[in-house]
Amino acid sequence: MAVLACGALATDVVEVVRRLALPVDVHGVSAFDHLDPARLVADVDDRLERLSQRYQRVVVVYGDCGTGGRLDEVIARHPAVRPAGVHCYEWFAGNDFTRITAEQPGTYFLTDWLVRNWQVAVLHGLGLDRYPWLKDTYFRHLTHLLYLQQRSGLEREAEAIADYLGLPLEIRRTGTDPLEGVLVGLLVDGLRD
């Protein structure tokens, strides 16, 4: 069995697979595909095409990620499944996600990957380094910054992002346990098949 993981989650997925001591191969797709959902769908389709020749089942660790259901259409054509959810923030927030978004709909979520890659993924990826006036267009409705932290050590960088956005920062140490809870059933069931 294989896992095809978003590059933003690959390190965390490898940690979960090792912790569970499962005989699963982990493959990745560039996290920067999120900047172009059509490319994300095409790249996942291409990787699944190749992985399907080697594995009977592939767990695709992606949310919908802005593809409008097109990712699920691709997955349905292959011996593949993915966890339920629109994006990975749901997985790291666990059962609190629905409550958080209901109580604070203006929440912007961060993970370790996004904090580490803020300059490239957000500032450059969204053109804010070239067109700084877009900042208000992209972020004006936000009221809260929630960092779902997998590992310590990036607090200063998260604070700098909060300062840039002019938002209060909340840090919740989630680790990878919530992600493990989302994946364990798919991984263990896949090994039984």
pLDDT tens digits, one per residue of 136-187: 999 999 999 999 999 999 999 999 999 999 999 999 999 999 999 999 999 9
In DSSP notation, 167-182 reads: --EEEEE-TTHHHHHH
Using 50 as the pLDDT threshold, list the residues of the chain that sit under it.
Answer: none
Please return the burial class of 63, using the count of CB atoms within 10 Å of its CB with bins 0-12, 13-18 and 19+. Answer: buried
pLDDT of the residue at 190: 59
Q: Among 167, 143, 171, which residue's Cα sits nearest to residue 155?
A: 171
pTM score, two decimals? Answer: 0.92
Q: Among 113, 114, 106, which residue's Cα sits nearest to residue 168?
A: 106
The answer to whether residues 34 and 65 touch, using CB atoms and an 8 Å cutoff, is yes
Helix (H, G, I), strand (E, B) or coil at 61: strand
**CATH class label, 2-87+176-192:** alpha beta
Residue-range domain boundaries for the chain: 2-87+176-192, 89-173
- Torsions phi, psi of 55, nearest 5? -130, 145
pLDDT of the residue at 94: 87
